[in-house]
Amino acid sequence: MARFKVIDRQPRFIPIDLQAQLTPGSFEFALDYLIDQEIDCAAIVARYRNDETGAPAYDPTVMLKIILLAYSRGMNSSRAIERACRENVLFMAISGDSAPQFTTIAKFIRELEKEIAQLFTQVLMICQRQGLIGGQMFAIDGVKLPSNASKQRSGTHAELAHEADRMEKAIKRIMASHQGNDQESSEINKREQKQIRKLQHEASRIRTFLATNAERKSEKGSIRKSNVTDNESAKMATSKGVIQGYTAVAAVDSQDQIIVAAQAHSSGSEQSILLPMIEQTTQVRQRDTVITADAGYHSEANVKALFEQGIPALIADGLMRRRDERFKEQSKYKQLPDPLWNKANPNQERKGLFRPSDFTHLVEENCAICPAGKRLYSNGSHCTVNGRQHHKFTGAKRDCLPCELRQQCLRTPDKTQVRQVAIFHKNQVSPMRYTEAMKQRIDSVEGRKQYSRRLATVEPVFGNLRYNKKLDRFTLRGQKKVNTQWHLYCLVHNIEKLAHHRYAM
C-alpha cells in the first residue's frame, strides 16, 4: 500500500512578517502610505483628551485604515470587521495587530461626520496632483439605496396614528378573547402575552414619534411621509419597486473616473442637489469643464443658474431621447409592464391609453371628437401650463359611462366617470428660454457626442461600489451618518484608483 506524508492541522506558532503583507501596488499598501505620509488627521486626533488621564485609545489613523480596508473588501458590519482584525493576517498587518471591539469601530464611523469632508478633499487633491483628474467633463448621477429603516413604519402622521389605533384595538380584542378562554393551555396564554407586549411596544413607539416629530413637508409645501425608524430617509420608487432609503449622488471625472464630489440625500427630487454638487467641485473644476446630468436633474431654474454662472453644461430634458433618431426604435425594448403600476396585479400588462393626438379638435365648432366619435365640450379655452396655452375639453356622462373604449381611454375606468383632454395650441414658443437654449446645445452633433460619454463615466463607478464593494444598502441611520458612510465608500474608490496607477511606488 502506498505511503504518504501525514497531514497535520494542529495549531502552530508561525512567524509572520506583518509589514511584508502590504505588497507594493496593492490597495492596502497605498492606503497605509497615504494615511501615514500624506493625509493630515489632526482634526480626528484632536478629539482625544487622554494625555495625562484615561486609558490609551486606539490610534485614529489605524481605525481609519481598518474601516477603509474593510469597505474595500465588501465588509461593512462592525462585528465582521472586529472578527477580521483577529483572524485575517492582512487586517493584522494594516492595524499593527490591534483588535478594536465592534462597538469602538461603530462609534468611530458615527463620529466621522465632521471630518469626512476634509479627508475626502485631501485625497481628491492627491488625485489631482497625480494627474488623475482631467477636468474635461464631470458626470453627475445618483443611485437609490435602501436604508436601515422599515418601509412598513412609514406614512403621514394621520396614517401612523391610524396604525397605532389599529394595534391598540388588536390588543383589546386579544385581551377580551383571553379572558373568555381561561380553560386554554398556558402555552397559548404565553403566546398571546408575547403578541400583546409586541403590539404595545410598537403602538407606544409610534405615539412617542408623533408627539416629538413634526409633519414632514416637501419644498412645495405638500406633506411627505415620515418614518418611525429613520425619519430622514424617504420612500423612493425604483425599477424594482419602492424602497425606504437615500439617494447617493456622485460627480465623476471622465478621465480616470475619480469621484470629485459626493452627497447622500433623502429628497425625492434630484433637482435640488444639482447646484450643491457642482459647488463641491469648485476646487478641481476648470472654466471649460462640462457638467453632464440626466433628465432627473433638469429644471428651468437649474439651467438658468448654470447659464448665468457661465458653467458649460449638458442637462438632458425629458424629451431628449424622443428627439434623437438613434432612439427611434427604443419602444421595442419597453415591452415589460411597469413594476410600479398596478401593485395589486403586477403581472397585468399596461394597455396603451389614448393620447391627446387621438382626439380631433374642431376649432369652428369649439369641441373635440374622441376616438369613439363622441363630442367633448369645452370647459376652458385659455388655460396655461408652464407658459404654454391649451384648450380643455371634457366628455359627457351619457357618452363616457356606456362607452366600450373606457379601458383604453381612462387610467382608472372604475373610478373616473368622464375623460378630460388638454389640446395645446400649435407652433407655440416655449417661455422657458434657458431650457430651449439647453435643448439646442444638447441636440447638436458635439453636444450628443459629449453627452454620450456620461453613462460610460459614472455607471462603472456605481457598479464598482454596489457589486465589487457589496454596497447594497446603508447600515446607518440619519442623513449625516449615511452621508459619512457614502463618503467612506467614495474614498475607497479613489484610493483604489491611486493604487492602480502605481501610487507610492
pLDDT digits (tens, 9 = 90+) for 21-73: 888 889 999 999 999 999 988 888 888 888 888 888 899 999 999 999 999 99
For 120, the enclosing helix (H) or strand (E) is helix 116-129
Residues of the chain below pLDDT 70:
178-189, 219, 268, 328-352, 386-387, 428-431, 504-505
The reported pTM is 0.82
Q: Is residue 487 domain-resident? A: no
Q: Is residue 402 domain-resident? A: yes
Grid cell for residue 336: 415589460
Last residue of a domain, one of 392, 418, 444: 418
CA distances from 100 to 41, 84, 108 (A): 19, 10, 11
Contact 280, 126 (CB under 8 A): no
The pLDDT, as a whole number, for residue 100 is 92
* Domain co-membership, 81 together with 161: no
* Domain co-membership, 144 together with 262: yes
Question: Could you please report the per-residue DSSP string of 451-504?
Answer: HTHHHHHHHHHHHIIIIIS--SS--S-SHHHHHHHHHHHHHHHHHHHHHHTTTT
The pLDDT, as a whole number, for residue 350 is 46
Instruction: Give the number of C-alpha atoms closer than 13 A to the C-alpha of residue 152, restricted to the C-beta side.
Output: 3
* Domain co-membership, 173 together with 275: no
- Whichever domain contains 297, its CATH number is 3.30.420
* Domain co-membership, 205 together with 85: no
The pLDDT, as a whole number, for residue 251 is 95
* Domain co-membership, 26 together with 104: yes
Q: Is residue 348 domain-resident? A: no
- Give CA 91 to chain center in angstroms: 30
The pLDDT, as a whole number, for residue 137 is 94
* Domain co-membership, 97 together with 141: no
Q: Sign (positive/negative) of CA torsion 448, 357, 427, 391?
A: negative
By residue range, what is the domain housing residue 297? 137-148+241-327+432-479
What is the domain count for the chain?
4
The pLDDT, as a whole number, for residue 243 is 87
Q: Is residue 2 domain-resident? A: no
For 394, the enclosing helix (H) or strand (E) is strand 388-394
Grid cell for residue 69: 480596508
* Domain co-membership, 36 together with 88: yes
Q: Is residue 427 domain-resident? A: no
Q: Is residue 224 domain-resident? A: no
Q: Is residue 1 domain-resident? A: no
- Give CA 409 to chain center in angstroms: 35
* Domain co-membership, 321 together with 360: no
* Domain co-membership, 99 together with 161: no
Q: What is the C-alpha separation between 74 and 472, in angstroms, rounded?
A: 10
* Domain co-membership, 110 together with 23: yes
Beta-sheet pairing, 375-385 with 367-369:
antiparallel
Max Cα separation, the chain?
Answer: 106
* Domain co-membership, 438 together with 291: yes
Q: What is the C-alpha separation between 4 and 475, in angstroms, rounded?
A: 50
* Domain co-membership, 206 together with 88: no
Grid cell for residue 159: 396614517
| Three-state helix/strand/coil letters over 113-174 | HHCHHHHHHHHHHHHHHCCCCCCCEEEEEEEEEECCCCHHHEECHHHHHHHHHHHHHHHHHH
Q: Is residue 235 domain-resident? A: no
